[in-house]
Structure 1
Amino acid sequence: MQRIFDHVENGAVDKAVRAALRLSRRIGDHMGTAMFLRELYANSTEFAQVIYDDTSHLKDEARKYLREQSLERWLRMRTMPDLPFVMNSGSGDDKRNVFVVSAADLDADIEQCERSIADMTIPPSMGEFDTAAFTDRFLSSKGLLRQRIRTLQTTKTIVLDHCQNFAIKVERQLAAQVKTMSFLAEAQNQVQNYFKARSADVYDKLLKANQLLDSTSNEDQALLLTEVRRAIKAVADHFYAPRPGIHRCQDGVERKLGEEQYANRLYEFVHSEFKRSTSTELLRVETKHLLAFAERLNDLASKGVHADVTASEAKQGLLGLYMFLFNLCQRLEVKDDGSNNA
């Protein structure tokens, strides 16, 4: 991002676009990638080849959307006044005057126009009539060249602004992610500290899950989900010990609350522990989502450790568990302080 800002300040439009393209590819911003490729490749065939290589993993509908939307945005950016060197695009009400020059050629084109103007000098030995004719012709040519230079400068400014705004957007996006990660780290720390002081079993299982989080192995991802399932059961064991037989729960439904029915036990604990309030209803909804996820984990467990598990599913499971426990621990600490109005 800093390189983009530096190139923009220095007016290096080609370098700014290439740096922005590199950043968009790095963060997986396919629309940004398509836009900056259009800036670099004025030839539609070259653009189509490169964008296909970048987005070959996407579905046909997604690639079509990227092509159409990036073209429409690029056309809006490059629509200029009706000048002799501006290409007409479309027809009727959709007719546009589109200035087609690659960002890589903008500076070179400006320099070439300036050199062409400088070369238009009248030879000193030319007669009066020839001088007048050449002067008239040169004035007309110089006027067109100056118009082209102004259009090139305008386009250069538009492209530089595009690069800068993209870098600013990514900067804000990353800043928001840092805040989110800081909150998640704080939540994780509070949950671990809570159970470190109250349940060594839950604490140990959470630590084992954390150790598997960064692994890219399919087996470790499946193991991570297994550890999440074990942690959920340990939480249920801590808050609501198994009971034999069938019991009528707080919602009026009869359920088994035995060793293997840890989901029922955790559900019953949340419903019986807190008085009804808005925050309690939210916690109950979170409990339903977590236990639905736990049921899916049980299904995966029946397939063995080598079940087809993605990294996003594994991380989602651990994140969901931590957020549920964070909210639960917060409510319990407030309740211990004698207040139910959190």
Structure 2
Amino acid sequence: MSQSRSEHILELAKELLDDIELSRLSAEALLLKASRLARWVGSEEIKHWISFEMRGYNSSEATSIKYMGKTGRWVKKDEEKGYWGPLAQHEAALEAENIKLRSMTTPDTGGDFGVRVMHMYQQQQLSTTNYISRLSGIKSRVFALLHSFVSDVYYEKEFDSLSESIFEKYKSDIDTLIAGHAGEILEQIPSVMSRLSEDEPESISQALTTVRRIIESFADSIFPPTDDTIKMGDNEVSLGPNRHQNRINAFVHQRVESKSRKAKIRQNLSNLYDRVSTGVHKDVTAEEARSLFLNTYLILGEVLHIGEVQNAEQD
């Protein structure tokens, strides 16, 4: 089975975190991989910054100047003196300087000349150590910025994946319940989604008309019309053919003890039905229409779950 875009990003981010934390890749290989992640997630600034790390910085671009500071490359910023080279160049220099430092041996010379030689040796050792410290600092800052970027992507996608799995499971449960109680409603859902994707006023109006019919069909399926009435609170409520909200509320009323939950469902249903009915005749944005459709789906699911819980308790 092919991976979704979100799954690919999550896997790539996880690999990169391990690459950074376990020092599995060279700086150049790590930057190439991070650049691919930046392209996938559309992070233009990070992608631009990584390009400087790969080919070197310049003084003509704002992002370059910004990340010269973030990576500790300045020596004298006011004079534009700094480490402008790419990270791979600094990594190679760092390795060479470490080899140089390890190969240094204390000179075995006496007398006045020996003092001068020792002084020169100490100065060279100090200079090499300072250079190593500077290059190590740049590399550490670059890796810290990469780690921060990759971590943000990873945990965001991990949360998205969890949210998607929770919603997909809930959606699957709702689909099963709807199929068992009002299967014809499922047949109307694809047409609603198709119209909502068009972003055209006429399509949105048609979609909302279908959503309203879905609510009405749902009411007919769980609580068919009757000439009877039902007492809910202080009100005697009609359950006739055109009283779709009343019948859904009656279904809930007979199965739920909590007054606050009854009131919440009744209010949500009323707001939803009014807005869907209004949207058929007035301007509603595609974004709001999609929200109304999703809300409808969730309310139907909640009401059907109420019925399932009661049936389970009776069994």
TM-score, length of structure 2 as denominator length: 0.66
Which residue does the alignment assign to 2:4?
Answer: none
Which residue does the alignment assign to 2:75?
Answer: 85
Which residue does the alignment assign to 1:51?
Answer: none
1:181 to 167, 178, 190: 167
Q: String of CA shifts for 1:95-151, please: whole Å, max 9, x gaps.
A: xxxxx978x932222324556788999xxxxxx799778656543432321111221
Which residue does the alignment assign to 1:109?
Answer: 90
Q: How many angstroms apart in 2 are the aligned matches of 1:36 and 1:319?
A: 35
Which residue does the alignment assign to 1:322?
Answer: 297
Give the superposition deviation at 1:234: 1.5
User: For the Cα contact (< 8 Å) 2:178–2:185, is it kept in 1?
Assistant: no
1:225 aligns with 2:244: no
1:192 aligns with 2:178: yes
Q: String of CA shifts for 1:78-101, please: whole Å, max 9, x gaps.
A: 587xx993879xxxxxxxxxxx97
Which residue does the alignment assign to 1:142?
Answer: 128
Give the superposition deviation at 1:17: 3.6
Q: How many angstroms apart in 1 are the aligned matches of 2:144 and 2:267?
A: 51
1:10 to 25, 30, 33: 25
Which residue does the alignment assign to 2:193?
Answer: 213
Which residue does the alignment assign to 1:154?
Answer: 140
Q: String of CA shifts for 1:264-315, please: whole Å, max 9, x gaps.
A: 34334422x22523xx743541342132111001111123xxx4431x4333
Which residue does the alignment assign to 2:3?
Answer: none
Q: Which runs of 5+ in 2 are unaligned?
A: 1-8, 104-112
Q: Secondary structure at the match of 2:232?
A: coil
User: For the Cα contact (< 8 Å) 1:187–1:323, is it kept in 2?
Assistant: no
Q: How many angstroms apart in 2 are the aligned matches of 1:337 and 1:291?
A: 28
Q: How many angstroms apart in 1 are the aligned matches of 2:222 and 2:213?
A: 14
Q: Secondary structure at the match of 2:280?
A: helix
Kindly provide the amino acid, as one letter, of the partner of residue 15 in structure 1.
L
Which residue does the alignment assign to 2:106?
Answer: none
User: For the Cα contact (< 8 Å) 1:229–1:294, is it kept in 2?
Assistant: yes
Q: Which runs of 5+ in 1 are unaligned?
A: 26-31, 49-70, 89-99, 122-127, 196-201
1:302 to 281, 289, 292: 281
1:289 to 268, 274, 281: 268
Q: Secondary structure at the match of 1:274?
A: coil
Give the superposition deviation at 1:250: 1.0
User: For the Cα contact (< 8 Å) 2:238–2:246, is it kept in 1?
Assistant: yes
Q: String of CA shifts for 1:127-183, please: whole Å, max 9, x gaps.
A: x79977865654343232111122123224313432442343134224303422331
Kindly provide the amino acid, as one letter, of the partner of residue 207 in structure 2.
L
User: For the Cα contact (< 8 Å) 2:230–2:250, is it kept in 1?
Assistant: no
- How is 1:14-53 mapped onto 2 (pairs within 5 angstroms)? 14-25=31-42, 46-47=62-63
1:166 aligns with 2:152: yes
User: For the Cα contact (< 8 Å) 1:85–1:148, is it kept in 2?
Assistant: no
User: For the Cα contact (< 8 Å) 2:208–2:277, is it kept in 1?
Assistant: no
Q: Secondary structure at the match of 1:85?
A: strand
1:235 to 189, 208, 218: 218
Q: How many angstroms apart in 2 are the aligned matches of 1:250 and 1:169?
A: 47
Distance 1:139 1:178, change over 3 A: same
Q: How many angstroms apart in 1 are the aligned matches of 2:310 and 2:141?
A: 63
Give the length in aligned residue pairs. Answer: 276
Q: CA RMSD in A?
A: 4.5
Give the superposition deviation at 1:221: 3.9
Q: How many angstroms apart in 2 are the aligned matches of 1:251 and 1:33?
A: 58
TM-score, length of structure 1 as denominator length: 0.62
Q: How many angstroms apart in 2 are the aligned matches of 1:160 and 1:86?
A: 25
Q: How many angstroms apart in 2 are the aligned matches of 1:101 and 1:243?
A: 83
User: For the Cα contact (< 8 Å) 1:240–1:266, is it kept in 2?
Assistant: yes
Which residue does the alignment assign to 1:262?
Answer: 244
User: For the Cα contact (< 8 Å) 2:239–2:246, is it kept in 1?
Assistant: yes
User: For the Cα contact (< 8 Å) 1:21–1:36, is it kept in 2?
Assistant: yes
Which residue does the alignment assign to 1:97?
Answer: none
